[in-house]
């Protein structure tokens, strides 16, 4: 028996937390939002979801094979990237946009850096932004919701954020939709990316992640809080020109970004203090881009820019070590 004993340095027990479990729980948390998007946008949305998810897993498998590395598709991170990418695309995206997005996310966004854990930017957002800049027509062609079974055909429509941007540019004034229809926005009954629509479903998922302690409250609260405060200031200054904070909150990708994209562990700071700064930066940039930038939506750019700042934030947010404080004997 003696030579079959396991020798190791302590500790000898483990929490049972695993990377796979973390990824799986995030995927579960995204289920309500994916279901809502399929409900509102029907089969096209399902198509985008399937192509992105399967595409990401396939590209992950392919790159592991090509690089002769251990196969990593089982850890769930590629599937998660696929779902997040799908939630960032318009439901009317052609199949090749979805597939190209999957390739960009996994190959350029993740594997060139060395795979899971080494990517400086959120892979799904890298793909979205590359697509948005490269294919502006396909990436900004939105459809109005056509709920399953309603018999309504999908028609082209603008997102609420897109409409107010155009209206403000043309007339200098907010259109009516900036002040009404909030119930529909909250449930997800509006044009937008798959995952930009239902604040309610995303919040449910986000709360689940908080409850399961997969994410901490720091990033989402600081991100959303900053958006509310900064957009609130502009709104108070000129309510005819700037939409109110609630509009910012429930239209566009803020909830998705704050709970699911900015909290991506790999590309965001590791300390609570760092997360607060990161969230603040995301919020500030989001509002500035939405109100003054060329694009109607700024969440993706904001998070990517803050991803770039993550190493710096980590460097300046080292926790204060036990025993390096003033003695209060």
Partner 1 sequence: MSLKTFAGGLHPPDSKSATAHKPIEACPLPEELIIPAAQHIGAPADICVAVGDQVKKGQVIATAKGFVSVPIHASTSGEVIAVEPRPHPLGRPLPAVVIKPDGEDAWDEALEQHDPAQLVGEELKQLVLAAGIVGMGGATFPAHVKLSPPEEKPIDTLILNGVECEPFLTADHRLMLEESTRVIDGINILRKILGIERAVIGIEANKPDAIEKMTAECAPHNIEVQALEVKYPQGAEKQLIDAVTGRQVPSGGLPMDCGVVVQNVGTAAAISDAVRLGRPLVERVATVTGPGIKEPKNLKIVIGTPLSHMVEFCGGLEGEPGKIIMGGPMMGQTQLSLEVPAIRGTSGLLLFRKGDFSTRPAGPCIRCGRCISVCPIHLQPTTIATYARLNLVDEAESNNALDCIECGCCTYICPATLPLVQSIRHIKGGIMAKRRKS
If the CB atoms of residues 61 and 187 are measured against partner 1, the closer one turns out to be: 61
Using only C-alpha atoms, the chain has a radius of gyration, in whole angstroms, of 21
Q: Which one of residues 225, 271, 293, 309 is an interface residue with partner 1 (CB under 8 A)? A: 271
Nearer to partner 1, 2 or 176 (CB): 2
Separation of CA 277 from chain center: 18
The contacts of residue 76 (CB under 8 Å, 6+ apart) are 19, 20, 23, 24, 27
Q: Least separation, in Å, of the C-beta of 86 and partner 1?
A: 21
82 vs 109: CA distance, rounded Å: 12
CB of residue 216 to partner 1, shortest distance in Å:
8
Contacts of 81 (CB under 8 A, 6+ apart): 56, 105, 106, 109, 110, 123, 124
Judged by CB under 8 A, the chain residues 159 through 178 that form the site for partner 1 are: none
CB-based contact 287:231 (threshold 8 Å): yes
Tell the smallest beta-carbon distance from residue 214 to partner 1 (Å).
Answer: 8
70: Cβ contacts below 8 Å, ≥ 6 apart = 64
DSSP result, 143-194: E----TTS-PPP-EE--HHHHHHHHHHHHSS--GGGTS-HHHHHHT-SSS-G
115 in contact with partner 1 (CB under 8 A): yes
Q: Provide the 8-state DSSP code for 157.
A: E
Closest to partner 1 by CB, 4 or 153: 4
19 sits near partner 1 (criterion: CB under 8 A): yes
Nearer to partner 1, 68 or 320 (CB): 320
> In the window 241-270, what residues touch partner 1 (CB under 8 A)?
265-270
179, 233, 308, 318: which one binds partner 1 (CB under 8 A) = 318
Verify binding: residue 237, partner 1, rule CB under 8 A: no
Using the rule CB under 8 A, which residue among 137, 170, 176, 320 binds partner 1?
Answer: 320
Beta carbon nearer to partner 1, 137 or 213: 213
Shortest Cβ 62–partner 1 spacing (Å): 19
Residue 184 near residue 159, CB atoms below 8 Å: no
For residue 142, the 8-state DSSP code is E
As measured in angstroms, the least distance from the Cβ of 239 to partner 1 is 40
Please give the residues from 50 up to 79 whose contact with partner 1 meets the rule CB under 8 A: 75
Stretch that binds partner 1, among 45-53, 111-119, 129-137, 142-150 (CB under 8 A): 111-119
Q: How many CB atoms lie within 10 A of CB 170?
A: 9
CB 191 within 8 A of CB 141: no
Choose between 14 and 68: whose C-beta lies nearer to partner 1: 14
Per-residue binder mask for partner 1 (CB under 8 A), 196-235, x = binder: ----------------------------------------
Q: Is 181 left (phi over 0), alpha (psi -120 to 50) or beta?
A: left
Rounded to whole angstroms, the Cα distance separating 117 from 103 reads 18
> Considering the rule CB under 8 A, would residue 14 count as an interface residue with partner 1?
yes
Q: Would you tell me which residues interact with partner 1 (CB under 8 A)?
A: 1-2, 4-19, 21-22, 75, 114-118, 265-272, 318-325, 327-329
């Amino acid at each position: 028996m003696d030579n079959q004993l396991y020798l190791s340095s302590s500790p000898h027990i483990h929490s049972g937390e695993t990377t796979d479990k973390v990824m799986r729980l995030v995927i579960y948390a995204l289920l309500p939002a994916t279901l809502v998007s399929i409900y509102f946008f029907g089969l096209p949305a399902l198509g985008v979801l399937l192509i992105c998810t399967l595409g990401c897993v396939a590209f992950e498998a392919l790159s592991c094979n090509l690089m002769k590395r251990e196969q990593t598709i089982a850890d769930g991170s590629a599937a998660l990237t696929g779902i997040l990418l799908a939630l960032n695309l318009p439901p009317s995206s052609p199949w090749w946009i979805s597939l190209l997005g999957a390739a960009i996310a996994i190959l350029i966004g993740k594997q060139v850096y060395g795979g899971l854990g080494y990517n400086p930017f959120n892979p799904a957002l890298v793909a979205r932004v590359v697509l948005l800049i490269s294919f502006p027509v396909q990436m900004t062609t939105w459809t109005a919701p056509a709920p399953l079974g309603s018999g309504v055909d999908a028609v082209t429509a603008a997102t609420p954020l897109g409409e107010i941007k155009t209206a403000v540019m043309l007339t200098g004034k907010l259109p009516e939709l900036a002040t009404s229809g909030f119930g529909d926005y909250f449930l997800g009954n509006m044009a937008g990316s798959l995952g930009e629509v239902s604040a309610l479903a995303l919040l449910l998922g986000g709360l689940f992640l908080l409850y399961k302690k997969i994410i901490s409250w720091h990033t989402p609260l600081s991100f959303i809080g900053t958006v509310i405060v900064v957009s609130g200031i502009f709104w108070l200054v000129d309510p005819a020109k700037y939409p109110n904070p609630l509009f910012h909150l429930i239209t566009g990708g803020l909830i998705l970004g704050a709970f699911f994209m900015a909290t991506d562990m790999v590309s965001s700071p590791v300390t609570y203090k760092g997360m607060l700064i990161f969230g603040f930066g995301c919020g500030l940039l989001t509002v500035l881009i939405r109100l003054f930038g060329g694009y109607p939506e700024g969440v993706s750019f904001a998070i990517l820019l803050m991803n770039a700042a993550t190493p710096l934030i980590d460097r300046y947010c080292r926790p204060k070590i036990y025993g390096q404080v003033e003695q209060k004997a």
